[in-house]
Amino acid sequence: MPTVQLPDGAVKAYPAGSTALDVAASISERLAQQTIAARVNGQIVDAMRPLEELSDADQIPLTLLTTRDAAALGVLRHSCAHVMARAVMRLYEGVGLAFGPTTGNGFYYDFDLDAPISEEDFPRIEAEMEAIVKDAEPFERFVLPREEAVQFVDDLHQELKTEHIRTGLAEHPALSFYRQGEFVDLCRGPHIPDAGKIKAFKLLSVAGSYWKGDANNKHLQRLYGTAFFDKKDLKAYLDQVEEAKRRDHRMLGKQHGLFTLTNDVGSGLCLWLPKGATVRALLEDFIKQELLKRGYQPVYSPHVGRVEMYETSGHFPYYRDSQFPPLFGHPAGQLVDYWKTQLSEGGLDEKSEADFLAAATDMGCDFSRYPKSASSDEKIVFLKAWEKHQERYLLKPMNCPHHIQMYKAQQRSYRDLPVRLAEFGTVYRHEQSGELNGMTRVRGFTQDDAHLFCTADQVELEFKDTLDLVKFVLQSVGLDDYRIQLSLREPGSDKYVGSEEHWAKAEATLRKVLEESGLPFTTAEGEAAFYGPKADFMVRDAIGREWQLGTVQLDYNLPERFQLEYIGDDNTAHRPVMIHRAPFGSMERFVGMLIEHFAAAFPLWLAPEQVRILGLNDDMQPYCEEIQSQFRAAGFRTTIDRQSANVKKKIRDAQLDLIPYMAVVGPKDQGAGGLSLRDRIDGDLGFMNTADALTKLTQERDTRQIRQLVKTEFQGFQGGDEEANEY
RNA sequence: GCCACCGUAGCUCAGUUGGCAGAGCAGCGCAUUCGUAAUGCGCAGGUCGUCAGUUCAAGUCUGACCGGUGGCUCCA
């Protein structure tokens, strides 16, 4: 007979076999209606399971989770995923089930299905789901011992489930299933008591995915949806999605002439139009001033570097697939490189080889000693030797090797350290075509990069200062909601360079400084760079979305690979430690994010056009120019609206162009030696003399005031863990 | 790169079963000269992403390619 302890401390015994639902019913009928799941020992569990199964404690600590608990939302959504899968199975033949977990904002289910599902099919799938919800059939859990479970799954003819149960779940002695009507799924649960609890749901999108996330595996169709306890919550969520669309930087960037992308230049190659370039230049100037104060030194480096340098750093071999191919100094370089690859992949026929030799000779190669009759390996050795004497350049994918060469350009003493080299360095990466996205994912971008070279003793302090810099920079643009992600190695992986000892030291140092900093941080294994751990700034924008922006990375490995040294106070050589850091990350990405954060309504100090001067009629032109020159002299970016239109139209245009201030001038203003100031946010401020207006605007600009930020407080009502609920 | 969807004027979009390519905004011209979110009239603007194919006839149907969007995979 289970005894239950509720959160309010009440202790009560219940008949054997009682469930959380029974407990709820014993309190009130209404509570039983609203109970979605329960929490026992911190675990979220089915409300319809006998309590003895869940805990063998004398007093079972039980929390009922109702429609008011965010934690129950994940349960609801996962059950909704089952309902969706059931609907899809009713409507399509031969549906293979994969996984169907919850996500931060909803759920998805992956299907192996020949017939393509498109958004046009959503209404009938939703209608079928509606019918299932209306039937309000219960979710029934049952457990089978491993052998029986395997047999049971075999009989369901669900190949992916069969595979998963044999590989992914090979260690599980018993497996749980959930049945809802004719639909049965291998599932860890928990689920809601019955489908009738789903009051609001919607299918969102369809996309491709891979079985177990591996691109080599079977391609699946993924159906995304979301569900809520209440139609109001669903509407709030959909409004949020609309708001995000309204702020899309690709649309706003086009609309406000900030940047453009055209296939004539190339995909992923961003053109900064004057207005966007102004925002970027202001940010760059701002950070340059700050770096000067913090003892950084400016440097410049070219856009290409020898492949060998990137072989030393490890970037070239590690990221070969996502770089633009090397530029060859010798005309035959590309040909030789191609030939070498062919040989390593099994070689080509004699004729091709003869063609290659002829072509290479034509291009001026002396291949008289090419070992025609030798093995592929020997031929590769020859070609490699040839290549070794040729120049090959890479469009630089990273700035660090260049800065490292600067460090090496002179002998360094411990007295010189730390050396802090800063550059807005433009780098090129051949991102996969499917990854490109407006300004936030491009193939050529500029990092506000710097590399700090310091002694082992200085690492902590330098790292701390760097965190402080990023904090300061984010604050200055009004981004004060962020966390830091401590990105660590993936245990047991061989994709990293450097010794165990260096990694352990680097990770421990990062963790120590972060703990001492008091900044909120989370850890993420497997997210480190290949040469060292990182502290990534995850910044929340005005509508609650997270962006990975600035980064600080600790690196013991590149100094080793490039044999960096400084002479210590003991007159012997020591190895410095490097810190890589970029507060904005990439200018493209950062400005893209800012556009969405401000919905293109930049604060005065960042606005591409700060003041627009609107004459009441065409006769005011000379006075408009007079006012303009006064604003320009005070450093403001202004234009005059020269349309032959009435002032209402000019104001409307300026408002739509999101200009922070308008100076409306007519005969009255001219007579009184001033202007009528209009604020984008507060509207007409009335007459002001020009000096007062300048003082007011100068103050707002120089303190980098952010007067308006349209925040929507919808923080997702995020339910459940982001872990897969499926096995 | 993979899967699904999309590509018509500078921008946002309409275009019936294949039958002469449309609107609004922006632009230009003329008139208007106005006090806080659209003055009126007119004009111009397109090889319908590209290339092939089917057809008497293709924006519309088919294929390939290019580009974009949503995801997947990737992100130094």
In Å, what is the separation between the CA of A433 and the C1' of B65? 15
| pLDDT, position A189 | 81
Nucleic strand B within 7 A of Cβ A210: yes
In angstroms, rounded to a whole number, what is the distance separating the alpha carbons of residues A447 and A209?
Answer: 31
pLDDT 10s digits, A273-296:
999 999 999 999 999 999 999 999
Measured CA distances, A515 to A323, A508, A519 (Å): 36, 10, 7
| pLDDT, position A58 | 82
Cβ contacts of residue A165 below 8 Å, gap of 6+? A149, A150, A153, A175, A186, A727
| pLDDT, position A725 | 47
Nucleic strand B within 7 A of Cβ A669: yes
| pLDDT, position A123 | 86
Chain A span 541-580 residues with beta carbon within 7 Å of strand B: 551, 553, 580
Chain A span 523-542 residues with beta carbon within 7 Å of strand B: 529-530
Q: Which residue is nearest to nucleotide B12 (CA to C1')?
A: A255
Q: Which residue is nearest to nucleotide B71 (CA to C1')?
A: A207
- Mean pLDDT is lowest, of A335-344, A392-401, A690-699, for A335-344
Q: Average pLDDT, stretch A6-27?
A: 86
Q: Average pLDDT, stretch A438-454?
A: 96
Total Cβ atoms within 10 A of residue A207: 12
Nucleic strand B within 7 A of Cβ A617: yes
Nucleic strand B within 7 A of Cβ A493: no
Q: Average pLDDT, stretch A4-23?
A: 86
**Cis omega (within 30 of 0) for bond into A190:** yes
| pLDDT, position A305 | 95
Q: Average pLDDT, stretch A418-424?
A: 97
Grouping H, G, I as helix, E, B as strand and the rest as coil, residue A200 is strand
Q: Mean pLDDT in chain A?
A: 91
pLDDT 10s digits, A358-385:
888 988 888 888 888 888 888 888 988 8
pLDDT value at A347 more than 80: no
The closest nt to A582, taking CA to C1', is B76
pLDDT band for position A716 (cuts 50, 70, 90): very low
| pLDDT, position A335 | 86
Alpha helices in A167-256 (DSSP H): 231-246, 249-255
Nucleic strand B within 7 A of Cβ A681: no
User: Which carries the bigger pLDDT value, residue A327 or residue A711?
Assistant: A327
Contact between A506 and A496 under an 8 Å Cβ cutoff? The reply is no
In Å, what is the separation between the CA of A650 and the C1' of B34? 12
In Å, what is the separation between the CA of A440 and the C1' of B67? 18
Q: Which two tokens stand for residue A641?
A: 């609206």
| pLDDT, position A727 | 56
pLDDT 10s digits, A467-499:
999 999 999 999 999 999 999 999 888 889 999
In Å, what is the separation between the CA of A658 and the C1' of B22? 32
Q: Sign of torsion, CA A114 A118 A121 A125?
A: positive
The closest nt to A530, taking CA to C1', is B76
Q: How many CA atoms lie within 13 A of A419 on its CB side?
A: 23
ipTM exceeding the 0.85 mark:
yes
Chain A span 8-67 residues with beta carbon within 7 Å of strand B: none
The closest nt to A435, taking CA to C1', is B74
Burial class (CB in 10 A: 0-12, 13-18, 19+), A56: exposed
In strand B, the nucleotides that come within 7 Å of a protein beta carbon are 1-5, 11-12, 27, 30-39, 66-76
User: Which carries the bigger pLDDT value, residue A219 or residue A414?
Assistant: A414
Nucleic strand B within 7 A of Cβ A324: no
- Mean pLDDT is lowest, of A109-113, A238-242, A343-347, A618-622, for A343-347
pLDDT 10s digits, A654-698:
999 999 999 999 999 999 999 999 999 999 999 999 999 999 999
Beta-strand ranges (E) seen in A118-247 are 140-145, 174-180, 183-186, 200-210, 219-228
Nucleic strand B within 7 A of Cβ A695: no
Going by their DSSP bridges, the two strands A297-298 and A419-428 should be labelled as parallel
In Å, what is the separation between the CA of A115 and the C1' of B18? 28
Nucleic strand B within 7 A of Cβ A665: yes
Nucleic strand B within 7 A of Cβ A414: no
User: Which carries the bigger pLDDT value, residue A314 or residue A214?
Assistant: A314
| pLDDT, position A285 | 97
Q: Average pLDDT, stretch A627-640?
A: 97
| pLDDT, position A378 | 87
pLDDT band for position A721 (cuts 50, 70, 90): very low
Query: Could you say which DSSP state residue A95 is in?
Result: P
In Å, what is the separation between the CA of A703 and the C1' of B36? 28
Nucleic strand B within 7 A of Cβ A429: yes
In Å, what is the separation between the CA of A128 and the C1' of B6? 28
Nearest to A67 by CA among A255, A259, A229: A229
Give the rounded percent of residues in chain A with a pLDDT score beyond 70: 97
A64-79: b (≥16 Cβ within 10 Å) or e: bbbbebeebbbbbbbb
Contact between A449 and A422 under an 8 Å Cβ cutoff? The reply is yes
Q: Which residue is nearest to nucleotide B4 (CA to C1')?
A: A207
The closest nt to A667, taking CA to C1', is B35
| pLDDT, position A208 | 87
In Å, what is the separation between the CA of A670 and the C1' of B32? 23
The closest nt to A103, taking CA to C1', is B71
pLDDT band for position A711 (cuts 50, 70, 90): low
Residues of A noted as catalytic: 400, 429, 447, 449, 451, 534, 580
In angstroms, rounded to a whole number, what is the distance separating the alpha carbons of residues A619 and A51?
Answer: 85
pLDDT value at A719 more than 80: no
pLDDT band for position A712 (cuts 50, 70, 90): low
| pLDDT, position A355 | 86
pLDDT 10s digits, A142-193:
999 988 888 888 888 888 888 888 888 878 888 999 999 999 999 988 999 9
In angstroms, rounded to a whole number, what is the distance separating the alpha carbons of residues A620 and A614?
Answer: 9
| pLDDT, position A248 | 95
Chain A span 139-178 residues with beta carbon within 7 Å of strand B: none
In angstroms, rounded to a whole number, what is the distance separating the alpha carbons of residues A613 and A158?
Answer: 69
Nucleic strand B within 7 A of Cβ A250: yes
| pLDDT, position A709 | 67
For A354-407, the DSSP string reads HHHHHHHHHTT---TT--TTS-HHHHHHHHHHHHHTS-EEEE-S-SHHHHHHHH
The closest nt to A428, taking CA to C1', is B76
In Å, what is the separation between the CA of A602 and the C1' of B9? 31
Nucleic strand B within 7 A of Cβ A402: no
For A231-244, the DSSP string reads HHHHHHHHHHHHHH
pLDDT band for position A207 (cuts 50, 70, 90): confident
Nearest to A70 by CA among A24, A31, A104, A19: A104
For A59-72, the DSSP string reads EEEEEEEETT-HHH
pLDDT value at A720 more than 60: no
pLDDT 10s digits, A545-597:
899 999 999 999 999 999 999 999 999 999 999 999 999 999 999 999 999 99
In angstroms, rounded to a whole number, what is the distance separating the alpha carbons of residues A180 and A86?
Answer: 9
Chain A span 339-398 residues with beta carbon within 7 Å of strand B: 397-398
pLDDT 10s digits, A607-628:
999 999 999 999 999 999 999 9
Nucleic strand B within 7 A of Cβ A206: yes
Cβ contacts of residue A124 below 8 Å, gap of 6+? A91
